[in-house]
Amino acid sequence: MRRYSAFAIAREAARHHLGWERAWRSPAPKARYDVIIVGAGGHGLATAYYLGKNHGIRNVAVIEKGWLGGGNTGRNTTIIRSNYLQDPSAAIYEKARSLYETMSQDLNYNVMFSPRGVMMLAQTQHEIRGYQRTAHANALQGVATEFISPRRVKELCPIINIDGPRYPVLGALWQARGGTARHDAVAWGYARACSDMGMDIIQQTEVTGIRREGGRVVGVDTTKGTIGCGKLGIVVAGHSGVMAERAGFRLPIESVALQALVSEPIKPVMDVVVMANTVHGYMSQSDKGEMVIGGGADGFNNYTQRGSFHHVEETVRALVETFPIISRLKMLRWWGGIVDMTGDRSPIISKTPVEGVFVNCGWGTGGFKAIPGSGWAMAELMAKGHSPLAEEFSMTRFREGKFIDESVAAGVAH
């Protein structure tokens, strides 16, 4: 693999950009791999990457039904933060956030990580108490956050209307090292690094069945034939339930649609990420100038990757009061993704009843921020059979009642 650098740009400019290599190979599948990962989204590719980088397992294929990064990796609002209440969550999300800091150098691919700061507005007395508690918990967990005053909110983000009649801003939980990154670049960077390690990324290939012998996985049936494997990682987000059924077990997961939208591009007006959980809206401004807006999830099971108009209306109506400046913006694009929700709104990184099959899912509405940490933990679990970061996220926790209850902690899906 030729490294990307300022020198490479100059070199290629001198020869009309004809010398750039393909970022990753598109090989035909081999007959067998040590490890197969189903799903070439951020989490699947990160799992493959850390299997190779941290554990030396490089005979790996990543099989993708559609195209690389075309699911939720390309459909989120790119927010990165780690201000969670519960210890296991804070540990894995903070690991992810810290890996984002060095990802561009690590992958030699510019993921445009921008630690511009994330604030979560407290707009009710309940939220003030909740976020103060989170700030204290974060201090104990070694996650740098603080609870800030409305005045400080206004300083950091002048376009906020802090004394709206319905949704006044009473303070905020502020994580200065949170921010955003280029979501597609995260998938592309991992894919390029995986391909460089000799891993095969096989797109446009659906896994239609999982072959087992004596309670152990031996391979997968795909639309390009049967492929053998030693271990199988299922990292397919919204379709986890469908894949689990093919492997012969069930997951505590329900799939719903989550939607987002972006406005027409405008000049820079805000350089932080603002989340308003009371009204289920969050907003940041992309480098192109578009306001990136995310809303709440639908409440019913849905596989259509379409949002519903009334949810957009709810989100935008509430945000317009907090950000009067956006009231006359036109919306440019609007899309939905299928998110996999667990009962406690925390993910599952776990062994399964089928030996050799591992599952990484349940990231729900907040998976993008976790990609490197999730891949790190999943790779460790698959390589060694246990991972400190993944330990509490076992799928058996629902039976045992050992929830990691972030839905109660945050008061909303997140």
Partner 1 sequence: MLTFTCPYCGVTACETELSPGGEAHLKRFGPGSSDEQFEEYLFLRPNVKGVHFERWRHAMGCGKWFLAARDTATLEVFGTYSAQTTEPPADIIAAIRAKRPDWSLT
In whole angstroms, the minimum distance from the beta carbon of 207 to partner 1 comes to 14
By CB under 8 A, residue 94 contacts partner 1: no
In whole angstroms, the minimum distance from the beta carbon of 303 to partner 1 comes to 5
Q: Which of 297, 323, 312 is nearest to 238 (CA)?
A: 297
By CB under 8 A, residue 343 contacts partner 1: yes
Strand-pair partners of 35: 60, 231
By CB under 8 A, residue 252 contacts partner 1: yes
In 8-96, the DSSP E strands lie at: 32-38, 60-63, 79-80
By CB under 8 A, residue 67 contacts partner 1: no
Which residues are CB-contacts of 120 (< 8 A; sequence separation ≥ 6)?
83, 131, 172, 173, 275, 276, 277
Give CA–CA dist 132/138, Å, rounded.
Answer: 10
By CB under 8 A, residue 295 contacts partner 1: no
By CB under 8 A, residue 348 contacts partner 1: no
In whole angstroms, the minimum distance from the beta carbon of 215 to partner 1 comes to 18
Given the complex with partner 1, which of 176 and 331 has the nearer CB atom? Answer: 331
Question: Are 40 and 201 spatial neighbours (Cβ–Cβ below 8 Å)?
Answer: yes
Strand-pair partners of 213: 216
Give CA–CA dist 27/61, Å, rounded.
Answer: 10
In whole angstroms, the minimum distance from the beta carbon of 359 to partner 1 comes to 13
By CB under 8 A, residue 365 contacts partner 1: no
By CB under 8 A, residue 317 contacts partner 1: no
Q: Of residues 8, 9, 139, 242, which one binds partner 1 by CB under 8 A? A: 242
By CB under 8 A, residue 151 contacts partner 1: no
Q: Of residues 57, 251, 377, 404, which one binds partner 1 by CB under 8 A? A: 251
Give CA–CA dist 276/293, Å, rounded.
Answer: 11
Q: Residue ranges of the alpha helices (H) in 263-392? A: 309-322, 371-384
Q: Is 375 exposed, middle or buried (0-12, 13-18, 19+ CB in 10 A)?
A: buried
Site for partner 1 in 197-236 (CB under 8 A): none
Given the complex with partner 1, which of 223 and 301 has the nearer CB atom? Answer: 301
Given the complex with partner 1, which of 229 and 244 has the nearer CB atom? Answer: 244
In whole angstroms, the minimum distance from the beta carbon of 153 to partner 1 comes to 32
Residue 193 CA from chain centroid, whole number: 19
By CB under 8 A, residue 253 contacts partner 1: yes
Q: Which residues are at the interface with partner 1 (CB under 8 A)?
A: 239, 241-242, 245, 250-255, 298-304, 306, 308-310, 342-343, 398-400
